[in-house]
Amino acid sequence: MIIDATFWVAVSFFIFIGLLIYFKIPNKVESALNEKILFLKNQIQDAEKLKDEAKNILSENEKKLSNSKNEIKSLIKKSHEEVEQNILKVNNDFHKMMEIKKLNSELKIKQMKVQAIKEIKNASVKIAIMSVEKLIKNSMDKSKLDKIYMDSIEETKLALKRKSS
């Protein structure tokens, strides 16, 4: 019988398998693989929990964002309404103030017109009296002049009283 290299390879293979079984290497490999599988399952479960928490936080934040957007829209709408009300109030106040100024101006104009008419009447009366005096002085004697002067003053006074009332 010739013992060649294949025989020794087969013998060493069986010894190797025997040693593996003796030292319970397959059980250790199986338990290590089971531990790794269990560890990976726990990590997957943790990851799924984190994913669910993230979804919950995302949905809460989206609700908060939506509520914030609605609140901002309502605040903007309210501020626009307040601005419009303020514009209307200021516009009304401005028109009232302009109306009061217009009435005051019209009243001042009427007063100035009355004053101007009085001044014109007084000036025209003075001019008329001075003209009459010059005419009379140049054309009449002193006694007639005094009488005409007194009569014209009386007539002027009566005319002014009639015009005033």
Each residue's pLDDT tens digit, 52-67: 999 999 999 999 999 9
- Indicate whether this model's pTM tops 0.85: no
Cα torsion 114, 116, 118, 121: sign: negative
Tally of structural domains, the chain: 1
Tell me the mean pLDDT in the region 84-103: 94
Average pLDDT over residues 42-57: 95
Q: Which domain holds residue 16?
A: 5-164
The rounded mean pLDDT for the chain is: 87
CA distances (Å), 109 to each of 113, 124, 142, in order? Answer: 6, 22, 46
Rounded to whole angstroms, the Cα distance separating 96 from 93 reads: 5
Higher-pLDDT residue of 18, 140: 18
